Structure 1
Amino acid sequence: MAVFTTVRTQVQSGFSETDAHLEELVKNLPGYLGMDHAQTPGGLGITVSYFRDADALRQWRTTAEHRAAQKRGRADWYESYTLHVAKVERSRGFTRP
């Protein structure tokens, strides 16, 4: 699991297109399990991406298009970010009927 927390800059040119493209790429990656995302009106974003194992996450991390987007993010789109990589030990959910 990768937890990516961001604060965006005012410069967002090309972000939405790149984000949509990367989301399509990662969906086709063997070992990708899904993603949750939340965004505040003030620009704080949290994306949690789930992978089968560390190898699948490593493959995503080293994908050329993802690396290029990371570089662009540091140059233009993000005021700051943090990345936490963790292993999920247990997961449960609830949905109201």
Structure 2
Amino acid sequence: MSLIATTPKPPYYAVIFTSLRTEDDEGYGEMANRMLELAVQQEGFLGVESAREDVGITVSYWSDLESIKRWKQHGEHREAQRLGRQTWYSSFKTRIAKVERDYGI
């Protein structure tokens, strides 16, 4: 998978997840890999970009708001959310934005 997501012509949606991690990382890497594996199988999923340093930032791209809603409600994703709140994140924020224009090389 490319480090920069290949997305279609706008409009589409971006889910921006920023986080601060706790010291506890037991199972985190495995869960992150599983969530990516599941996300790419979801209808409406377009791609993802992620950077993890002091602040973790993951941006996933979706064709529509309904696809984002279905992903949020996915059973395994809900379990990952629960574990994140309980164990892996000291703080996080999710933002959803409509991409109206994109460009690059």
Cα displacement string for residues 19-68 of structure 1 (whole angstroms, at most 9, x for unaligned residues): 1011000101111000011111x3x1000000000011111010010001
Q: Is 1:26 aligned to residue 39 of structure 2?
A: yes
Q: Is 1:9 aligned to residue 17 of structure 2?
A: no
TM-score by length of 2: 0.85
Gaps of 5+ in 2: 1-13
- Identity between Structure 1 and Structure 2 (%): 39
TM-score by length of 1: 0.92
Gaps of 5+ in 1: none
- Number of paired residues? 92
CA RMSD of aligned residues (A): 0.7
Whole-angstrom distance in 2 between the partners of 1:8 and 1:70:
13
Superposition misfits of 4+ residues, deviation over 4 angstroms: none
